[in-house]
C-alpha cells in the first residue's frame, strides 16, 4: 500500500476516534491537514484512464500511454497510479511500477494524457494495466492562461517527433507554468504518445513569451500516422523575484556551428554582475526567419555550480531537437535569415549563499580524433572542506585572435561528497567546428568545486 493509502486510512481512523469520544469543541480538533483533505475529497472512482497502449522506444525502454478522464465534479491535481505488468497467463510479470501523474488542474469532464516510462527488462511481459490508487484535488489558487503559438511538429531523421512552440502570457499578471507535457495524435484524433517537455518556460511576465520543446519517441510506424499535437500546461498567477542579471548586458553570444555529426552548437558567455553567488538558466530559441513567425527548435543551459560575483563563464547550448537530428536543417534556416533569441528563465535563476573554490587538476591529457577533442585526467579537492559538486571546464581558443572556438563541461561524479584531499576522475569530449585545425588552438582547463 502506498503512503497516500496509509494517510487516507489514518485520517478515517482519526474521524472515528473523535466521533467516539464526543463532539469536538475546538478548531484544532476538527480541522484536517490540507493534504489529507485534498486526498479524501477526491473521488478516485470517478477518474479513469482509457485507451491504454504501450510500445518500446529505440532505447529499449517501455512507454505506456493513456488518456486521463475526470468524471468527478472537482478539479484534479495529481493521481497516484500503479502500472501493473502481466504475462500471457494473466499472472504478474514483475512488481510493476508506481507512477504519479500530474495534470494539475484537470477540470470536471476534461481529459489529459497519461504516460509512464519504464526502463528495465520485464521477462514474460504480455500486457500492462494502469490502476488508480489515489487522487488529489487541485489547489484553489488564482490561475491565468497561456497561449501556445508559432509552433510546429516534424519527425526528424531518427523517427522522433520534435514539437516546438512559444508559450505566451496574454494576461495582466505574471504566471508560473506548471508541469508542461506534450502529446501527439493520429488523423482520427487518437492519442499516439505523450511525454514531459525537454525545454520548459516556467515564469512569464505579462506579454512575455518563451520556448517549449518536446521530443517524443514514436511507436513503430508512428511517423506515418501522427497528424497533430497539443501542449498541456497549468498557469498559476505568481510573482517571481526580480532577475539579478539581464540578457542584454550579461549574456554574449559568440558563435554557432554544426559539428561533424551534424549537431548544432551555440557558444556564448554569461557574467554574474552581482555581489552574491548566482545560479542561472538560459533558454535559446531558433526561429525560421527574422519575423519570428515559427519556432523551429529550442535548447537550454543551466549553471551546475553557482557563478561567483563578477565571474564570466563560457557555455555551449547543444541539447537541441530537430537541429541535431535533421540533416541540412541549419543550412536551410541560414538561407531564410533565421533568428536566434536568448532569454533568462527566472524560475531557475536566483542568488545563493555558496562557497565555491578552485580544485587542482592532475595528470591532464588531451587527444584529437574524428573532429573531437578528448580530455582526461584527475581532480583533487584541496579545499579546506568537502565538496558536493564539481565542474571541469575546457575552453579552446584560436591562437591568433584568442576567440573561443569551442567549449564544454564535465561534471565530477560525486555521489554524496568528496572529502579534502580526495581525487576524482574526469573525461570530456568536445566536438569542433568543421575543418578546424587543432594545431591552431590553445586549451584552457579549469576545475571548481562547491562546498555544502
The distance from CA 285 to its chain's CA centroid, rounded to whole angstroms, is 15
Mean per-residue pLDDT for 290-306? 95
**CATH 2.60.40 corresponds to the domain 247-352:** yes
Q: Are 324 and 292 in contact (CB under 8 A)?
A: no
Assigned C-alpha cell, 62: 517501455
Answer whether residue 200 shows pLDDT above 90: yes
Q: What is the mean pLDDT of residues 89-100?
A: 97
pLDDT at 3: 39
Q: Quick one: cell of 288? A: 525560421
Residue 80 has pLDDT above 90, yes or no: yes
Q: What is the pLDDT of residue 39?
A: 73
Task: Kindly report the backbone phi and psi dihedral angles of residue 321, in degrees, each rounded to the nearest multiple of 5, phi listed first.
Answer: -100, -90
**Residue 215 CA to chain centroid, in angstroms?**
11
Smallest CA-to-CA distance from 101 within 139, 141, 133, 55 is with: 133
Percent of the chain with pLDDT over 70: 92
Question: What's this model's pTM, rounded to 2 decimal places?
Answer: 0.87
| Contact between residue 408 and residue 316 where contact means Cβ atoms under 8 Å apart | yes
Task: Kindly tell me if the per-residue pLDDT of 34 is higher than 80.
Answer: no
pLDDT at 7 > cutoff 50: no
| Pairwise CA distance, residues 34 & 13, whole Å | 17
249 SS3 class: helix
Q: How confident is the model at residue 40 (pLDDT cuts 50, 70, 90)?
A: confident
In whole angstroms, give the CA distance from residue 138 to residue 237: 14
For 190, the enclosing helix (H) or strand (E) is none
Q: How far apart are the first and last CA of the chain?
A: 36
C-alpha cell at 274: 552581482
Single out the residue of 335, 326, 311, 113 nearest to residue 230, CA to CA: 113
Alpha-carbon distance 76 to 73, whole Å? 9
Residue 51, by phi and psi: left (phi above 0), alpha (psi -120 to 50) or beta?
A: left
Summarize pLDDT for 337-374 with one digit per residue, the tens: 999 999 999 999 999 999 999 999 999 999 999 999 99
pLDDT tens digits for range 238-284: 988 889 999 999 999 999 999 999 999 999 999 999 999 999 999 99
Domain boundaries, the chain: 41-137, 247-352, 355-451
- Second CATH level (architecture) for the domain 41-137: Sandwich (2.60)
Calpha distance 52→84 (Å, rounded): 12
Residue 440 to residues 266, 398, 405, 436, Cα–Cα distance (Å): 21, 6, 10, 8
What is the arithmetic mean of pLDDT over 427-434? Answer: 96
Residue-wise pLDDT tens digits, 135-158 = 999 999 999 999 999 999 999 999
Per-residue pLDDT, averaged over 391-406, amounts to 96
CATH architecture of the domain with residue range 355-451: Sandwich (2.60)
pLDDT of residue 442 exceeding 60: yes
Amino acid at each position: 500500500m502506498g503512503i497516500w493509502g496509509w494517510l487516507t486510512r489514518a485520517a478515517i481512523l482519526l474521524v472515528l476516534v473523535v466521533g467516539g469520544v464526543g463532539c469536538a469543541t475546538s478548531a484544532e480538533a476538527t480541522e484536517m491537514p490540507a493534504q489529507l483533505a485534498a486526498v479524501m475529497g477526491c473521488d478516485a472512482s470517478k477518474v479513469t484512464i482509457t485507451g491504454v497502449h504501450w510500445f518500446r522506444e529505440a532505447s529499449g525502454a517501455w512507454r505506456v500511454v493513456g488518456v486521463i478522464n475526470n468524471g468527478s465534479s472537482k478539479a484534479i491535481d495529481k493521481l497516484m497510479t500503479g502500472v501493473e505488468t502481466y504475462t500471457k497467463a494473466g499472472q504478474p510479470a514483475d512488481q510493476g511500477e508506481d507512477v504519479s501523474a500530474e495534470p494539475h488542474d484537470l477540470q470536471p469532464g476534461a481529459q489529459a494524457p497519461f504516460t509512464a516510462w519504464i526502463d528495465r527488462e520485464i521477462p514474460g511481459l504480455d500486457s500492462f494495466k494502469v490502476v488508480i490508487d489515489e487522487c488529489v484535488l487541485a489547489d484553489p489558487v488564482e490561475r491565468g492562461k497561456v497561449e501556445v503559438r508559432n509552433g510546429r511538429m516534424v519527425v526528424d531523421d531518427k523517427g522522433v517527433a520534435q514539437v516546438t512552440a512559444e508559450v505566451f502570457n496574454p494576461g495582466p499578471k505574471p504566471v508560473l507554468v506548471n508541469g508542461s507535457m506534450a502529446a501527439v495524435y493520429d488523423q482520427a484524433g487518437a492519442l499516439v504518445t505523450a511525454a514531459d517537455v525537454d525545454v520548459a518556460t516556467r515564469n512569464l511576465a505579462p506579454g512575455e513569451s518563451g520556448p517549449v520543446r518536446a521530443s517524443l519517441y514514436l511507436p513503430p510506424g508512428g511517423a506515418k500516422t501522427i497528424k497533430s499535437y497539443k501542449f498541456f500546461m497549468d498557469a498559476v498567477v505568481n510573482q517571481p523575484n526580480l532577475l539579478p542579471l539581464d540578457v542584454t548586458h550579461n549574456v554574449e553570444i559568440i558563435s554557432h556551428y554544426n559539428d561533424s555529426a551534424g549537431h548544432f552548437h551555440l557558444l556564448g558567455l554569461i557574467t554574474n554582475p552581482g555581489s552574491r553567488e548566482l545560479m542561472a538558466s538560459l533558454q535559446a530559441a531558433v526561429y525560421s526567419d527574422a519575423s519570428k513567425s515559427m519556432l523551429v527548435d529550442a535548447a537550454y543551459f543551466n549553471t551546475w555550480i553557482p557563478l561567483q560575483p563578477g565571474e564570466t563563464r563560457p557555455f555551449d547550448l547543444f541539447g537541441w531537437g530537430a537541429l541535431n537530428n535533421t540533416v541540412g536543417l541549419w543550412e536551410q534556416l541560414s538561407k531564410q535569415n533565421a533568428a536566434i533569441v536568448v532569454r533568462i528563465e527566472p524560475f531557475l535563476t536566483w542568488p545563493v549563499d555558496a562557497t565555491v573554490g578552485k580544485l587542482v587538476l592532475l595528470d591532464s591529457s588531451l587527444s584529437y580524433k574524428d573532429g573531437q577533442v578528448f580530455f582526461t585526467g584527475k581532480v583533487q579537492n584541496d579545499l579546506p572542506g568537502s565538496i558536493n559538486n564539481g565542474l571541469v571546464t575546457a575552453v579552446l581558443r584560436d591562437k591568433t585572435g584568442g576567440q573561443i572556438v569551442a567549449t564544454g563541461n564535465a561534471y565530477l561524479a560525486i555521489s554524496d561528497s568528496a572529502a579534502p584531499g580526495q581525487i576524482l576522475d574526469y573525461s570530456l569530449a568536445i566536438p569542433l567546428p568543421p575543418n578546424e585545425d587543432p594545431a591552431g588552438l590553445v586549451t584552457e582547463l579549469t576545475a571548481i568545486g562547491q562546498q555544502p
